[in-house]
Amino acid sequence: MRNLRLMTAGLAAMTLLAACGEQSDEPEEATEEAAGNVLLAEWTGPYEGVPAFDKMDLADLKPALEEGMAMNLAEIDIIAVNPQPPTFENTIVAMERTGRDLDRVFSFWGIWGANLSSPEFREIRQEMAPKLSEFNSKITQNQALFARIRAVYEGQEMEGLQPDQQRLTLLYYEGFARNGATLEGQAKERYAAINKRLAALHTQFSSNLLADEEGYVTYLSKDQLAGLPDSFIQAAAALATERQHEGEYAILNTRSSMDPFLTFSAERDLREKVWRTYYARGDNGDANDNNAIMAEILQLRNERVKLLGYDNYAQWRLENRMAKTPERALKLMETVWPAALARVEEEVADMQKIADAEAAGIKIASWDYRYYAEKVRKAKYDLDSDEVKQYLQLGKLRQAMFFVAGELFDFKFTPIEQGKVPVFHQDVRVWEVSNKTSGDYIGLWYLDPFARTGKRSGAWATSYRSHETFDGKETVLASNNSNFIKGTPGAPVLVSWDDAETFFHEFGHALHSLSSNVAYPTLNGGVRDYTEFQSQLLERWVFTDQVINTYFVHHETGQPIPAELVAKIKAAATFNQGFTTTEYLASALVDMLYHTVDPTGIDIDAFERQALLDLNMPEEIPMRHRSPHFAHIFSGEGYSAGYYGYMWADVLTSDAAEAFAEAPGGFYDKEVAARLVKHLFAPRNSLDPAEAYRAFRGRDPRMEALMRDRGFPVPPEGSNED
């Protein structure tokens, strides 16, 4: 049943939250409206059935949601009133079979929400979000249903189940118990009311953020392009033309556009304007301002967990994560924080020296950091980011990812002729994924690489269908989505080194889905501070010689990247780690602070400023995600009190990378790769993450590897242990 699986699956739960409506008050009419609705229909066609993305119509969405909800509730009722004694088969497995119709609707919903958003869709999302919450409450507060789940969880049958079946039962029990199933009376009603209100607030936060990203575009004239690379100028011109500003150059209010502009633009006043516009998203005192929304979200979250007996929201959130407690998560972050601050001080000093030598007459500010960091990079390492970019073609990077997937996972990616598989936009391409050795079909991989109006910023992965075998094998439909700037027609798309790592990162999520060997669909979920590990690990293959020497070729000459330039890249591997670590950790620490204090009457702006002051945050660096646009924690609950998870996962990443570095075959060692797939990718959430990691490494991860990776002083061995 997808809605309950998502309840334990992190950010996807809130991304798809508004996909569901409550059971219709007039089910007969809903059924009539939804008859023949493509969003509900079984998937047909090649590759064991694919979504009819070419036929999706927004007018079908509400009827599909309403009918799908009604069908799902009917399925739940059959399980709840079953007169037979509760068993794993007639309760837990039966739950796994429900919600298939809604699964299909969710796939289309995700496309509208992330890839093809529009004002019309956002109105539907805003309307349906609280209805979904009511729907979820009807299930999680179904006492008869919970009684059956608890009976299986606490019964004698549990001992005889297979390990994955035991974990599945545990996930169901926790999914209900941690979400209000144990409450009664007024507490039960209040819990449901809070969830309904939160659903509306999360959705409004997301809509406001997207409105600010779309609504604030900086247009430049030809005399304002000093310092910008030709490839960026061409892309900015194309973006302006697309927005009916022919002859101008558009800087979008997204990271993929802001970041390179701040890195290369020699116009300091424009850098400040673009910086302020970007970091003010959701904080402009207008109809899209998110401050009041955030305050209410925090207060409602705190009230809700108090109903369950927890001291604060973070305590509730981390209970079933790898960190277990807020204190353990904070301990990790606070161990790294001083080293990051010390490095920032060194980086700012280096930048100020260059600014002074140029007689710039400035003190390094936030909008100068990227620009002067690039100058320091050139001075220290003779490394020009734009020179590196000439060898990083998007198409070649994709080929490199396929190569790595073939070496580590034995996967083969074969492009599918356009038109054979329906897509939702002309930019989307599809590949068939098969096993190189056996030839067995595994699934499809969709790629939507380019930025456009209506597409949310950033990069992400999703799955339209996940692997399972308990009722016949289901193959995977995985997807990666990015916001690369397309540029002029026919020209290769050039990306930065950071963008190349992000591309590999998101592909790691797709490989995680494609590698699954779990029997039950719920087990394709994950533990939030663990699920980023696999994708972060895949970034390491960007640095391997096999990738660099084969796929990094100049976009004009076709010549491979020079060995001298590669040496510079590797020498600068830990460059600017003060900035990178500090901007991230500041957001993670503030997230944890928001969710461990009493938020009654909280003033978001004042709280953020005081929290950063208490942390001794360098004035030259902002949080990576300022609170009013911190979508990870305020547009849903997947990362709330959990943004630390990227660093927790990076401890695993650094430690696992050393396992490859120490192996005879290095990062392509077959024995280590086989262990990687067997223990860390294929099992998904069918076993405890700590147990899975020990099976791979033979021990628990060690934090020292993380510090070495970032070029920070290594703490005494064992200092990160409880």
Q: Which residues pair with 434 in a beta bridge?
A: 412, 441
Query: Nearest to residue 525, comparing CAs of 648, 684, 681?
Result: 684
Q: Residues 404, 566: contact at Cβ < 8 Å?
A: no
Tell which residue, 479, 430, 471, has the closest CA to residue 107: 479
Residue 86 to residues 161, 170, 354, 384: CA-CA distances in angstroms? Answer: 14, 15, 72, 65
Residue (of 538, 545, 537) closest to 650 by Cα position: 537
φ and ψ of 380, to 5 deg: -80, -40
Residue 432's SS3 state is strand
Find tokens 């209100």 and name the residue.
Answer: 197
Decide: 230 and 322 in contact? Cβ < 8 Å.
no
The enclosing H or E element of 415 equals: strand 411-415
Determine contact, residues 523/636, Cβ cutoff 8 Å.
no
What is the DSSP track for 468-519? B-BTB-B-EEEEEEEEE---STTSPPB--HHHHHHHHHHHHHHHHHHT---S
Q: Is 506 a catalytic residue?
A: yes
Q: Which of 630, 248, 582, 293 is nearest to 458 (CA)?
A: 630
- Report the alpha-carbon distance of residue 152 to residue 158 in Å, rounded: 6
Q: How many whole angstroms separate alpha carbon 378 and alpha carbon 287?
A: 43
CA nearest neighbour of 125 among 20, 26, 212, 12: 20
Selected catalytic residue, list 347, 506, 539, 620: 506
Amino acid at 242: E
Residue 624 backbone dihedrals phi, psi, to 5 degrees? -60, -40
Q: Are strands 411-415 and 249-251 parallel, antiparallel or unpaired?
A: unpaired
Torsion of CA 658, 524, 84, 100, to 10 degrees: 180
What angle do the packed helices 255-264 and 268-279 form, to 10 degrees?
A: 160
Separation CA 696–CA 679 (nearest Å): 6
To 10 degrees, the CA torsion angle through 61, 67, 72, 74? 170
| Contacts of residue 525, Cβ cutoff 8 Å, sequence gap at least 6 | 5, 6, 8, 9, 10, 171, 684, 685
* Strand, coil or helix: 306: helix
SS3 of residue 463 by DSSP: strand
Residues in the chain: 722
Distant-in-sequence, close-in-space partners of 19: CB < 8 Å, separation ≥ 6:
65, 102, 105, 106, 109, 110, 128, 132
CA angle, 458 then 461 then 466, to 5°: 165
Q: 3-state DSSP call for residue 339?
A: helix
Determine the Cα–Cα distance for residues 145 and 151; give it in Å rounded to an integer: 10
* Residues forming the active site: 506
